[in-house]
Amino acid sequence: MSFDNAYESLVEGHEEKHWAFGTGFTHALSGVDRAISSTVDRDDLAAYCLMLGDDALVYAQRLAEWCAKAPELEEDVALANIALDLLGQARMLLSRAGEIQGTDEDALAYLRDSSEFRNVHLAEIDCGPGPGGDFATTMARLLVFSAWRLALLHRLTGSADPVLAAVAAKGVKELTYHRDHAAQWVLRLAGGTDYSRERMVAGLAVVWPHLDELFTAHPIEHRLAEAGVAVDPAELRSEVDSVLDTVLGAAGLTRPDVASVPGGGRGGVHTEAMAPLLAEMQVVARALPGGVW
Amino acid sequence: MSARQVAEQVLDPELPVLTLADLGVLREVSEVGDRVVVTITPTYSGCPALDEMRSDLHEKLTEAGYRDVEIRTVLHPAWTTDWISDDGLRKLTEHGIAPPSRIGPRAVGPIPLTLEPPKRRVSCPHCGSARTTELSRFGSTACKALRRCEDCREPFEQIKEI
């Protein structure tokens, strides 16, 4: 058997498992009681799982881009580990959305276009390692994202939906050390040389315009929050602000004085960084439709 | 052997010095006639070993003669390193991996921010020295941190507390 490229073997015969990623994955919530209460709107629940799942999936893809390109080997490992935790959260949330919508996690991850993704812009913006990217900006984003998601998941542990509550409770443990990792890097860079401090200040200014979107509720979030299933992100603001102020204060930094930019990720409106991200994430699945790996 | 005994002897795919029972991921085994229901819980959300655990359990129970085996997953309550058995902690040390400390239930209220690496006393699993430092919170698998002994200078892994 010979192939023009390594990926072609994926679509040839499904008898044996192949070397590539994802071999024989079972449903990410296999064996979990996934009953949905009759009082919960199923379409809203699926849409909400997509929002939180897409935040994690898209950001995991961004973090994985740093693997083998971080300033030190330990950081390659750290960012890949954080990405893996988020990918695990994404798989559970996308599987739940997929089951309700009659599709699956792979189709949701690989076959949707940009306008069908529901993640916030903070997850998708390009902070490197490519052109224009920067490690300090990456740490600024990790700090804001993990402080926000930790506050969100912490409240979601009280969700009326038992699967969301359980996914959140596991996520809280993981986000706690993601946030610590970012906070410690912000302190280290701000307290290093004049140059590292300048880069940290510049990095914060890049991510800060995307802060407001994190606390803007989509109508679906509103409805589900009223039903006790979701968290209204507007309620997270003071807690997240206080965490960010604590870190910035300890680092001797102040909040960047920058204007907010429009959001819209929850409604499927994305930045120009989204299409290239998806192109890379989805290329193999789209090039070889029906390939099993 | 009872289904429980068979399930308890299945080894963790990533830390094969521990059984699934030692690791605390085996939550329940119930047996009614030929039918066995095993309940496990993942360590981390992204733990890739969960599928392996599921198929290893299925295989060992089938080999032991159980025809109808179902493996269920529970996410709640979330796994904690406090569920690793005392035996498990001892086996980890014997195999050069520093065990986690017991952390107890987390206090209610906002989750505290840690601005410097915690000064935990972790003994070197090679020479026993208490003078060890954390190199990174992250290691070769989601559950491990990387440390180094200041006396024997050997690097070693530690199961980090969650």
Tell me the count of A-B CB pairs closer than 8 A.
114
Phi, psi of A136 (to 5 degrees): -65, -40
B49 contacts in chain A (CB < 8 Å): none
A96 contacts in chain B (CB < 8 Å): none
> Strand B26-32 and strand B35-40: pairing?
antiparallel
Here the tokens at position A236 are 């997270």
> Which stretches of chain A drop beneath a pLDDT of 70?
1-27, 30-31, 292-293
Query: Which among A160, A165, A166, A168 is positioned nearest to A38, based on CA atoms?
Result: A160
Chain A's closest residue to B78, CA to CA, is A170
Q: Kindly report the CA angle at B61 between A34 and B85, in degrees rounded to 5?
A: 75
DSSP per position, A218-251: PHHHHHHHHTTSS--GGGGHHHHHHHHHHHHHHT
ipTM entry: 0.89
A89 contacts in chain B (CB < 8 Å): 45-46
Residue B72: strand pairing partners: B39
What whole-number percentage of chain B has pLDDT above 70? 100
Average pLDDT over chain B, rounded to an integer: 90
Crossing angle between the packed helical segments A73-101 and A135-156, to the nearest 10 degrees: 40
A32 contacts in chain B (CB < 8 Å): 72-75
Contact B142 A181 (CB under 8 A): no
Sign, CA dihedral A179-A182-A184-A190, equals negative
Here the tokens at position A136 are 């300090």
* All domains in chain A, ordered by first residue: 37-284 (1.20.1260.10)
A180 part of contact set with chain B, CB < 8 Å = yes
Domain limits of chain B? 3-73, 119-162
Query: Which among A34, A211, A33, A56 is positioned nearest to A118, based on CA atoms?
Result: A56
A85 part of contact set with chain B, CB < 8 Å = yes
Model confidence band, residue B50 (pLDDT cutoffs 50, 70, 90)? confident
Model confidence band, residue B107 (pLDDT cutoffs 50, 70, 90)? confident
**Is the bond preceding B77 in cis, omega lying within 30 degrees of 0?**
yes
A57 part of contact set with chain B, CB < 8 Å = no
Question: Which CATH number is B3-73's, of 3.40.630.10, 3.40.50.300, 3.90.870.10, 3.30.300.130?
Answer: 3.30.300.130
Here the tokens at position A258 are 């920058």
d(CA A77, CA A84) in angstroms, rounded, equals: 10
- Condensed to tens digits (0 to 9), the pLDDT of residues A68-124 reads 899 889 999 999 999 999 999 999 999 999 999 999 898 999 999 999 999 999 999
Per-residue confidence (pLDDT) for residue A3, from 0 to 100 = 54
Contact A77 B138 (CB under 8 A): yes
Contact B162 A173 (CB under 8 A): yes
